[in-house]
Structures are given as structure tokens and as C-alpha cells.
Amino acid sequence: MNDHEERAAGLEKTGTHASPLARWMLRGRKTRHWVRTIYAWQSIFKLRNAMRQGMTHKDYYQAGKSVDGIHKIEPAGKIVSEFTCESPD
């Protein structure tokens, strides 16, 4: 089992879908804040527990809305050099 398959198995175990109650609350303007706060607290405790069990920070991921725009992983140096090589028009 390679690293990617291990991560996929972990994702299947934890799940990625909101409960029906959470989906309903996320629709509301006032309740959306509470659901996101609960999710943030859950992620903090899950990360803390994972660290206590000997896992690394690489075993648990939390992504925001902007992660949808990521299509490939590149070294930071390459990205910086692309920006510095571009000349303003």
C-alpha cells in the first residue's frame, strides 16, 4: 500500500460529508458561524489526538475554500521564480 492509498483509506474512515443537521445549519446566515466553529474545534481536537497517538501532521488535513483551485503540487522555489521572471506589460 503506497502513501496515497493510506491517505485515501484514512479519508474513507473519517468521512467528508456534513450531517443532515449540519447541512441545514450551513444554509442559515446566523447558524453557519456556529457550524464552522464546531468544525474548527473538532479539527483542533482531532489533530491533538492524532499527535498524541504518534501520527504526524501529515496524517490529518484541513482545507479551506481556496484548495479547489489547486491542480498540482510544485516546489515553492519554482513558483517564486515564475513570478520573478514575468515582466510587467
* H or E element that contains 14: helix 3-14
Indicate the number of domains in the chain: 1
pLDDT tens across 16-40, in order?
A: 677 888 888 888 888 999 988 988 8
With 80 as the cut, is the pLDDT of residue 80 above it? Answer: yes
pLDDT score, position 19:
83
Name the more confident of 82 and 51: 82
Q: Tell me the C-alpha distance between 59 and 13, whole Å.
A: 12
Domain residue limits at 64: 3-85
DSSP 76: H
With 60 as the cut, is the pLDDT of residue 1 above it? Answer: no
